[in-house]
Amino acid sequence: MSFMPHVNDLVSRGVRAVVNMCDEYAGPEKQYKRQHIQQLRLPTVDHAEPSLSALEAAVSFIRAQKQRGVRTYVHCKAGSGRSAAVALCWLVAHRGMTPQEAQTYLNEKRQVRPSLYLQPNVRAFCNKISGE
């Protein structure tokens, strides 16, 4: 199976960094390398909540890429749990949203797990950001 069309689509959209939350899939690493796409892989079992350290690493990676003017694509298998938890944490940390506002924002964009903001590690991340 070739992932080049997918990778080429990312490149055409200006993506040069990827956060891969899949435990079950390492991603098209050779194609990423050929296209100079940097991948941060944080293996998280499907249907499981990302660890606090994975959420922190993902948000830190995205922030560093953004500071360099690099677009980052965050994914898991379905895009509704693991990667959505990362997106929610990013919105809280860098857009100043509350966890509930970030959940609503994500739900308006695509169908994500409806209670991401209540997951213990997401709550711990958000509490750490807010200084609680």
| Residue 11 predicted with pLDDT over 90 | yes
Question: 79-111 pLDDT, tens per residue?
Answer: 889 999 999 999 999 999 999 999 999 999 999
Determine what percent of the chain is predicted with pLDDT higher than 70: 95
Q: Which are the catalytic amino acids? A: 76
Nearest to 61 by CA among 16, 103, 31: 16
Higher pLDDT: 60 or 79? It is: 60
Question: 24-36 pLDDT, tens per residue?
Answer: 999 999 999 999 9
Query: How far, CA to CA in Å, does 119 sit from each of 32, 35, 88?
Result: 31, 35, 11
Give the predicted TM-score (pTM) of the model: 0.93
Domain 4-130 grouped into CATH 3.30.565.10 = no
Domain borders along the chain are 4-130
Query: How far, CA to CA in Å, does 71 sit from each of 13, 14, 41, 83?
Result: 9, 6, 16, 15
Give Cα 59 distance to the centre of its chain: 8
